[in-house]
Amino acid sequence: MLKICLMYKLKVTKDNTVKLADVGLTKREKITGTPTGTPLYAAPEVKERKVYDKSADIYSLGLILWEMWYGVTLYGLKDEVYSKRLEEDLKRGWDIRMPWWEGTVPPIPEWTRLIHDCLKKDPKRRPKIQECLDRISAMKV
């Protein structure tokens, strides 16, 4: 948990609720050509220095959800074959393939679908934050 807190600015409240405070990508409604935050978690439109909005943070959330399930960062994986496929999938805007490494279990279907939806290449196709919260709340994980 310490590793995640350092990377994502997660905060734990007094009642042990974990809150995603800010991934540092959007400060205003729309931003042009001024990427900030952690590049590893940046949405494609941020990396490409295009206009972006709050949906860029939803993309980052998708990456964080993947990491929370598997316990490792998406980038810099030791599995080079998976890393190459992942990079191609993300560039093409395809749903990423969930790995099945020794000692891991693939996410439940609802978690997988949320990750896929958050990582949509087209920002307009990503869910809003309230939808993400509702979907996570409805999951039995």
Q: pLDDT tens digits, the chain, 141 residues: what are they?
A: 333 333 456 667 788 776 666 554 444 444 444 445 556 788 889 888 888 899 999 999 999 998 888 888 777 678 888 888 888 887 887 888 888 788 888 889 999 999 999 999 899 999 999 999 999 999 976
Exposure string (b/e) for 104-129, b if CB count within 10 Å is 16 or more? Answer: eeebeeebbebbebbbbeebeebbee
Residue 11 within any structural domain of the chain = no
Tally of structural domains, the chain: 1
Quote the domain boundaries for residue 79: 30-138
In a domain, 109, yes or no: yes
Query: Within a domain: residue 6?
Result: no
| Domain contains 36 | yes
CATH code, domain carrying 123: 1.10.510.10
2 in a domain, yes or no? no
**Structure tokens given for 67:** 């990491």
Which residues sit opposite 18 in a β-bridge?
12
